[in-house]
Amino acid sequence: MASIAFSSAIRNSMSWPTMLSNKPADDMKDGFSFGKSMFTTRKHNFNHQDLILTNVASPLTPAIAPPPEKTARPDDRHHVAWTSIRQERWEGELVVQGQIPLWLSGTYLRNGPGMWHIGDYNFRHLFDGYATLVKLHFENGRLIAGHRQIESEAYKAAKKNKKLCYREFSEVPKSDNFLAYVGELANLFSGASLTDNANTGVVKLGDGRVVCLTETQKGSIIIDPVTLDTLGKFEYTDTLGGLIHSAHPIVTDTEFFTLLPDLVIPGYLVVRMEPGTNDRKVIGRVDCRGGPAPGWVHSFPVTEHYVIVPEMPLRYCAQNLLKAEPTPLYKFEWHPDSKAFMHVMCKASGKIVASVEVPLYITFHFINAYEEEDEDGRVTAIIADCCEHNANTTILDRLRLQNLRSYNGGEDVLPDARVGRFIIPLDGSPHGKLEAALNPDEHGRGMDMCSINPCNLGKKYRYAYACGAERPCNFPNTLTKLDLMKKKAKNWYDEGAVPSEPFFVARPGATQEDDGVVISMVSDKNGGGYALLLDGSTFEEIARAKFPYGLPYGLHGCWVPKK
C-alpha cells in the first residue's frame, strides 16, 4: 500500500522528560482525587538530530507528583485511554522534544468524556463520561498544558450526591420507588432530567465566546479558554424550544448553523444564529421522507450556498429513551426499510433544491462538502464527504467501555469504515450516489474524527486529517493524512498508543492547503500521555511533550488564536 507508516522504534526507546512546573489541583474530594505518579525526572542523552529541547525562560524544577489514592480504581489495569482522569484540574509547562513553530500562537482546546465513574460505579459507554476540557497553549515555542472538569449541573450533582442524577447517553438514574420513576419520566418529557454534561465538542463563536456542547440543548456551556473556568449556561433567547440539536454546529467568524430534530412531526429545522447573539432564526424546514422519527444528526455539512441535511435510517426512538436499561442501539433504532436520504437547502431562501434517496449509511461525522460546477459555472451537484461505517450499526456497541477495556490485542474487532462520498445531483434526479472517495485500505479501513483546513470549509478541498487503523485493533489507532486528489494516505502510528482527533492549524499567510501543523493528544500504552505536533505537509513528527500523568481519550477540539 502507498501509505507511509512512521516507525515508533526510536520513540519507544526513550523516556521523555516531565513538565517544568505545575499547579496541583485545589479541589480534591468526593471521590475525585489524584492517582499514583508513574513518571520521574531523569537525564537523557538524545542522539536524534530532530529532537531539540526547546529553550524556556523558567528554571527546570522537579515535577510535583500527585499523592497516591487510598484505593485503586477498578479500571486501573486497563489502557489509560479508557480510565478516568485522576484529578479535577491541573496546569503546568511541559518540556518539548523537537521544535514548536514560533508562528504557532494560541490555544488548542479539546473536549471529551474523561470521567467515567461516580465513586465505585463505572459508566457503560464511551459517550457517558463527564466532560474533561484539556488545553495546549502555544507561545514563543513554549507549551503550557492543563485540564479541568466542566462544572455542569450533572457533574456537580453527581459529586454532591455520589450518584448519577441526570440521564446520560446510556445511563439512567436509579429510582428509589415507582412514584419516583413516574416523576423521572415526567422530567424526561420536560427535559429536566436530560443531562447538560457538555462532553462532545467545543467551538469558538464569531464574537469570541467559547462554548462546550453536547446533543442536549441545555448542555451548551460557556467556558474561559485561558483558565478553563465554567462561566455559565449558553441560554438561547429565541422561542424555538426543543430538547436536542446537532452536537456539531457549523461555526465560522460570520456564521452559525445547526439542525433541530423534530421528534413529534419527523423533520428538521435548519437555523442560523448571528455572532454576538443567542437568538436562532429559522432558515427552513425539512420533512423526513421515511421512518417513524428523524434520523440521528450528530453532524452535517454545508457548502458556500447550501446546508446539507442527512436523513439516516438510524433514527431517534422515544421508546428506547424511556427504558431504564439501554438497548443495543441505545436511544436509536435501525430502520433500513425507511431508506436513507440527503436533502439540500438554500441558505438564503430556505428552499429545498434537492431531496434524493441514497444507499443506506451510518456516520457520526461529516468531513466537508462543496459544489460541483460544469464548464459554464453552473452548480450541477453537491459532493459531501463523511466518515462512513458501511451501514453497520455495531460501531455503537464496540464503543462500550467494557469492550474497549477488555481488548488484549491480536483480534481484529474494529468495524470497517471509509471516506464515504455522497454525490447529490441538482437536476431533479430522485437518486444520489454513495461511494468510497479512496481505497479504504489506504487508511486501514478505519476512519473517523476528521478535520480540514478551515479556509476550505464548504469549498472544494484536497486534504483531510483523520484517525485510521493499523490492524488488528479494536479502535482507531493511527493519525492519517488523506490526499483526496491522488487518493492516497500517509499514516502516523505509535504501537499501543491511542491518538485523539488530529486538528489542523494553518500557518498565517499560507497559500498551500496543507501548510500548517496537526495537533493531537495521545494516550500512551505505558499509562502516560503526550501532546503531538505533525507537519501538515510532510506528516512527519516535529514535536511532542509528555504529560506527567495518564491522559484519557478525548473527542473534539477547536483553535483559539492569541489576540
Per-residue pLDDT reduced to its tens digit, 372-425: 999 999 999 999 999 999 999 999 999 999 999 999 888 999 999 999 999 999
pTM for this entry: 0.87
What pLDDT does residue 327 have? 84
What pLDDT does residue 160 have? 95
| 44 labelled ligand-binding | no
Average pLDDT of every residue of the chain: 87
Q: Lowest-pLDDT range, 112-116, 117-121, 424-428?
A: 117-121
What pLDDT does residue 183 have? 57
- Give mean pLDDT, residues 62-74: 39
Q: Characterise 501 by phi-psi region: left (phi > 0), alpha (psi -120 to 50), beta (else).
A: beta
What pLDDT does residue 119 have? 86
- Give mean pLDDT, residues 46-69: 35
* pLDDT higher than threshold 90 for residue 294: yes
CA–CA gap between residue 540 and residue 536 (Å, rounded): 8
* pLDDT higher than threshold 60 for residue 18: no
- Give mean pLDDT, residues 428-432: 97
What pLDDT does residue 174 have? 76
Q: Which amino acid is at 238?
A: D
List the beta strands (DSSP E) in 62-150: 89-93, 96-98, 106-110, 113-115, 117-118, 121-122, 130-139, 142-149
| 431 labelled ligand-binding | no
* pLDDT higher than threshold 80 for residue 188: no
What pLDDT does residue 177 have? 61
Burial degree of 62 (CB within 10 A; 0-12, 13-18, 19+) = exposed
Determine contact, residues 78/45, Cβ cutoff 8 Å. no
With bands split at pLDDT 50, 70 and 90, how would you rate the model's confidence at 43?
very low
- Give mean pLDDT, residues 10-23: 37
| 117 labelled ligand-binding | no
With bands split at pLDDT 50, 70 and 90, how would you rate the model's confidence at 186?
low
Q: Cell numbers at residue 382, please?
A: 453537491
With bands split at pLDDT 50, 70 and 90, how would you rate the model's confidence at 29?
very low
What pLDDT does residue 515 have? 98
- Give mean pLDDT, residues 205-233: 97
Percent of the chain with pLDDT over 90: 78
Collapse the DSSP code of 181 into the 3-class scheme (helix H, G, I; strand E, B; otherwise coil) and give the result.
helix
Q: Cell numbers at residue 333, please?
A: 433504532
Which letter, b or e, does each residue of 405-439 get, where b requires 16 or more Cβ atoms within 10 Å of its Cβ? bebeeeeeebbbbbbbbbbbbbeeeeebebeebbe
* pLDDT higher than threshold 80 for residue 491: yes
DSSP H helical ranges for 377-536: 394-398, 401-405
* pLDDT higher than threshold 80 for residue 267: yes
Determine contact, residues 76/83, Cβ cutoff 8 Å. yes
Report the residue count for the chain.
Answer: 563
Pseudo-torsion of CA 405, 411, 416, 418, nearest 10°? Answer: 90
What pLDDT does residue 380 have? 97
What pLDDT does residue 57 have? 33
With bands split at pLDDT 50, 70 and 90, how would you rate the model's confidence at 193?
confident
Query: Which residues are CB-contacts of 440 (< 8 A; sequence separation ≥ 6)?
Result: 416, 417, 418, 419, 447
| 389 labelled ligand-binding | no
* pLDDT higher than threshold 80 for residue 325: no
**Long-range CB contacts (< 8 A, 24+ apart) of 157-160?**
158/118, 158/130, 159/30, 159/31, 159/32, 160/30
What pLDDT does residue 182 have? 56
Q: Characterise 168 by phi-psi region: left (phi > 0), alpha (psi -120 to 50), beta (else).
A: beta
- Give mean pLDDT, residues 54-60: 35
CA–CA gap between residue 108 and residue 519 (Å, rounded): 8
* pLDDT higher than threshold 80 for residue 53: no
What pLDDT does residue 179 have? 56
With bands split at pLDDT 50, 70 and 90, how would you rate the model's confidence at 184?
low
With bands split at pLDDT 50, 70 and 90, how would you rate the model's confidence at 175?
low
Q: Cell numbers at residue 161, please?
A: 450526591
* pLDDT higher than threshold 50 for residue 503: yes
Taking the CA of residue 496 as centre, how many other CA atoms within 13 Å lie in the half-sphere pointing to its CB? Answer: 14
* pLDDT higher than threshold 90 for residue 27: no
- Give mean pLDDT, residues 221-235: 97
Closest CA to 484 of 368, 391, 392: 368
With bands split at pLDDT 50, 70 and 90, how would you rate the model's confidence at 9?
very low
What pLDDT does residue 373 have? 96
Q: Lowest-pLDDT range, 23-27, 145-149, 477-481?
A: 23-27
CA–CA gap between residue 526 and residue 12 (Å, rounded): 10
What pLDDT does residue 410 have? 86
